[in-house]
Amino acid sequence: MITCSAPGKVYLFGEHAVVYGESAICCAIELRTKVSVEKSDEIIIESVLGRTGLDHDNHPYVSYVIEKMRQFTDIQGVHIVIESQLPVGSGLGSSAAVTVASIQALNHLYECELSLEDIAKTGHEIERMVQGNASPTDTYVSTMGGVVMIPQRKKLDLINCPIVVGNTHKFSSTKELVGNVAKLRSDFPSVVEPILSNIGQMSILAERLVAEGDYETIGKLMNINQGLLDAIGVGSAELSSLVYAARGSGAISAKITGAGGGGCMVALARENNAQDIAKAIEDTGGEAIITKNTAEGVRLESLHG
Ligand SMILES: Nc1ncnc2c1ncn2[C@@H]1O[C@H](COP(=O)(O)OP(=O)(O)OP(=O)(O)O)[C@@H](O)[C@H]1O
Ligand SMILES: C[C@@](O)(CCO)CC(=O)[O-]
Ligand SMILES: [Mg+2]
């Protein structure tokens, strides 16, 4: 049996706008998805979503991974077991992490010799197949780790402050939210395109700020980004409550992360106030997770049997 894992992510800037080629800055976090694989007589996929065979309704990402990997090797039967620290459908890149960890696990099991670049590219193709429209961001950062700027695919310095995630526990589907933004953009191009382009500008400004470790200025821009995400309709009352609770308890910044509509928000904390922010999020009805940026992308956890 071979086990690989891949990290989830939070966006400092640029979700949704990056789907239209604008810049985004995305950060891998210490919460990971683990995928174990071994050869078997049939295809079995086991996760918190159930136990299925190749099944595009219940396990779309992993089913596409198996089909894509058949371009590189002959996969007959395989038993895949998924365990994840990432909430499903919540803005922390659970789909990218399960996709990337599954590709790497099969890559090792069948000795396909795919490089990290190949894995990120294959992962992006799969997110596009399931979502209809997807940027390379989530799969690239889950593969490479660290902090990445997309579409440049440039690695930036690590973010050295605590990251507090607040989960509304309201499930959202990235495919659906990306579709809603596409509709708004086509209904009101003269209004929505400049908003997306302004979101993109924040990453361009923030690239230097990340190198300087100027989190206070990064935070001001993240708060502006939050307002623009609300403007394109991916906010919710629950997300706003958690955002204001985090800011009210001393967070440097707080915004939605990922597709929105529900799911999670992210706050940057100062050295000493992550616990206070977590408590404010919990008192407002959310679940708080204190995490950190990680340099490590997809990795082999164990080879045994
Ligand atoms: N632990 C898991 N086991 C199996 N499939 C999973 C798991 N986690 C996520 N998935 C797949 O990913 C889908 C959710 O992906 P979606 O892109 O909608 O949300 P997300 O990736 O959590 O958030 P975002 O894309 O905004 O970061 C699930 O419906 C499921 O198909
Ligand atoms: C909403 C979105 O920008 C981020 C989802 O984590 C979609 C994508 O980039 O594919
Ligand atoms: Mg996703």
- Report the pLDDT value the prediction gives residue 141, as an integer from 0 to 100: 98
Cβ atoms of 108 and 303 within 8 Å: the answer is yes
CATH 3.40.50.970 fits 2-156, yes or no: no
Binding residues for ATP: 87-97
The phi, psi pair for 20, rounded to 5°, reads -105, 20
Retrieve residue 128's tokens. Answer: 């596009």
Task: Compute the distance from residue 69 Cα to the ligand 1 centre, in Å.
Answer: 20
Structure tokens at 250: 């001393």
Q: Which three-class secondary structure state does DSSP give residue 107?
A: helix
Catalytic residue among 41, 57, 118, 138: 138
How many A from CA of 26 to the centre of ligand 1?
17
pLDDT at 303 over 90: no
pLDDT-wise least confident of 165-169, 171-175, 271-275: 171-175
Residues 232-255 have a mean pLDDT of 98
**Nearest-angstrom CA–CA distance, 221 and 25:** 12
Please report the pLDDT score of residue 304 as a whole number.
Answer: 75
Closest C-alpha among 77, 82, 85 to residue 61: 82
Contacts for 251 with CB less than 8 Å, ≥ 6 apart: 164, 219, 267, 268, 269, 273, 277
User: Which residue of 94, 126, 127 sits with most ligand 1 atoms within 8 Å of its CB, as the best mutation to test the pocket?
Assistant: 94
**Closest ligand 2 atom to 181 CA:** 1
pLDDT digits (tens, 9 = 90+) for 119-148: 999 999 999 999 889 999 999 999 999 999
Ligand 1 atom closest to Cα of 176?
18
Would you call 138 a catalytic residue per the annotation? yes
Which residues, judged by CB distance below 6 Å to any ligand atom, belong to the binding site of ligand 2? 15-16, 18-19, 93, 134-135, 137-138, 174, 178, 258-259
Residue ranges lining ligand 1, Cβ < 6 Å: 33, 47-49, 59-61, 82, 84, 88-95, 98, 138, 173-174, 258-259
Q: How far apart are CA 29 and CA 87, in angstroms?
A: 13
CA of 280 to the centre of ligand 2 (A): 27
Burial class of residue 304 (count of CB atoms within 10 Å of its CB; 0-12, 13-18, 19+): exposed
Superfamily designation of domain 163-291: GHMP kinase, C-terminal domain (3.30.70.890)
| 259-289 residue pLDDT tens | 999 999 999 999 999 999 999 999 999 999 9
- Cβ-proximal residues to 52 (8 Å cutoff; 6+ apart), any chain: 44, 45, 58, 59
Nearest atom (ligand 2) to Cα of 91: 6
- pLDDT, tens digit, for every residue of 248-259? 999 999 999 999
Ligand nearest to the CA of 232: 2
| pTM higher than 0.95 | yes
pLDDT digits (tens, 9 = 90+) for 177-194: 999 999 999 999 999 999
Count of alpha carbons within 13 angstroms of residue 209, beta-carbon side: 17
Ligand 2 mean position, distance from CA 93 (Å):
8
Reply yes or no on whether the pLDDT at 295 is more than 80.
yes
> Which residue from 10, 141, 174, 180 has its CB within 8 A of the most atoms of ligand 2, so it is best to mutate?
174
- Give the whole-angstrom CA distance, residue 235 versus residue 226: 9
Ligand 3 midpoint to CA 103 (Å): 16
Render pLDDT for 53-106 as a digit per residue (tens, 0 to 9).
999 999 999 999 999 999 999 999 999 999 999 999 999 999 999 999 999 999
Instruction: Provide the residue ranges of all domains of the chain, joining segments of one domain with +.
Output: 2-156, 163-291
